[in-house]
Amino acid sequence: MDLLNTLVDKGLRRELPTREEALAVLATSDDDLLDVVAAAGKVRRHWFGRRVKLNYLVNLKSGLCPEDCSYCSQRLGSSTGILKYTWLKPDEASQAAAAGLAGGAKRVCLVASGRGPTDRDVDRVAGTIKAIKEQNEGVEVCACLGLLSDGQAERLREAGADAYNHNLNTSESTYGDITTTHTYADRVDTVTKAHAAGLSACSGLIAGMGESDEDLVDVVYSLRELDPDSVPVNFLIPVEGTPLAKEWNLTPQRCLRILAMVRFVCPDVEVRIAGGREVHLRTMQPLALNLANSIFLGDYLTTEGQAGKADLEMIADAGFEVEGAGEVTLPEHRATAGGGCGSHESAGCGSHEGGGVCGTAAPAAPANEARTDLVAVRRRGAGTDLAPNA
């Protein structure tokens, strides 16, 4: 297949695909899906071997958010019944992190709901970072606290943070449809601040919110231009009580195509399967490891994930191995020079009709059936007296 051969060659050279090529990946038929996975898998293995990096989430402050992000169970006026609590103390957060690290995670992601941190909040998180690093040698810490003000990224870096996460989530043209309390430009500004402060930037997307193929390609091209070291790909978890609770637009096959497209556009970046993999990939999760080199272990911020033991078994059964604490995640040219996910040629503009492999357009995928049985609000771990799932 000429398209896939071309994309593999470009991925091995870190060359940007055309928009038409990226759209064509999303338009491939189910008959071609394994060929797409195999092609993107060659690119993944070239840059990351068969290693899978494990990350662990700690929700430092849950719920009570003033922002109105339609996808989020912690949004303003939420009626989702999630856990709601204010800031965990440093020792509480460190204990929560220890469970994930014991399960093989090498990065702890400290997340707090809200528009963005106050200077006092930054001080709180600095204390938590110190506690975690004192008790766990070599651990990576990523902070995710919302929109940053001037100087805050530098203070987090000085406190020992290694990375900062702030997702773009969707295309600029549709961002106002999902959030009105801040802008797409605000998000870009925060990722830029993290970069400038010397933090490893982490920024990704959410698929399944009713977006078009063009929207997905737009946001991934925007991410490549922003040059994060890691790109989390979330699949919307339609939580009852949120405006997007009825959006069941994903199939396992579409999720795999999305991950393949991200890998082709950002070939040498840590692509992470984030929220929603259990809900939408389901029994196809092992195939996705051929595309992504990173996952979250155990539960998410407000919903339950697959058991940590099952994650480890899945990785081993699929022929992959957990990345060790002493191994460097990124390829040498990125780890040493802070290089981007490729060269910065123009990504083009406008929207294009996407053809399938060999130029044959695939029919639109049918809407996924609602699997509300797979969505469970987290009732264990951080903020509770129960042991975490790790």
Residue ranges of the binding site for [2Fe-2S] cluster? 109, 142, 202, 272
d(CA 59, CA 234): 17
Q: Compute the CA torsion angle 334, 294, 87, 150 (nearest 10 deg).
A: 20
Q: Which residue of the set 14, 109, 187, 224 is catalytic? A: 109
**Annotated active-site residue in 44, 75, 272, 334:** 272
CA distance 311 to 202: 22
Closest of 305, 299, 262 to residue 285, by C-alpha: 305
Assess whether 358 carries a catalytic annotation: no
CA dist 28 and 23 (Å) reads 9
DSSP 362: P
- The helix/strand/coil state of 133 is helix
Q: Which of 14, 69, 144, 378 is catalytic?
A: 69
User: CA 119, 121, 126 angle in degrees (round to 5)?
Assistant: 95
Which among 213, 90, 211, 78 has a CA at the least distance from the CA of 141?
90
349 is catalytic: no
Q: Active-site residue 255, yes or no?
A: no
69 catalytic? Reply is: yes
Q: Measure the N-to-C terminal CA separation of the chain; round to a whole number of Å.
A: 41
Q: 115 by DSSP, 3-state: which?
A: coil
Comparing CA positions, the residue from 382, 354, 319 lying closest to residue 97 is 382
To the query of whether residue 272 is one of the catalytic residues in this protein, the response is yes
Catalytic site residue from 14, 19, 44, 65: 65
Closest by CA to 147, choosing from 78, 225, 69, 215, is 69
DSSP state of 228: -
Catalytic residue among 19, 75, 142, 257: 142
User: CA–CA separation, 383 vs 367, rounded Å?
Assistant: 35
266 catalytic residue (yes or no): no
Give CA–CA dist 351/332, Å, rounded. Answer: 35
Q: Count other C-beta atoms under 10 Å from residue 103's C-beta.
A: 20
Residue 142 bears catalytic tag: yes
314 Cβ partners below 8 Å, 6+ apart?
285, 286, 289, 306
Residues recorded for the chain = 390
Residues contributing to the annotated binding site for [4Fe-4S] cluster:
65, 69, 72
Annotated binding-site positions = 65, 69, 72, 109, 142, 202, 272
Catalytic residue among 14, 72, 334, 378: 72
Of the residues 44, 107, 124, 202, only one is catalytic, namely 202
Q: Collapsing DSSP states into helix, strand and coil, what is residue 11? A: helix
Active-site residue set: 65, 69, 72, 109, 142, 202, 272
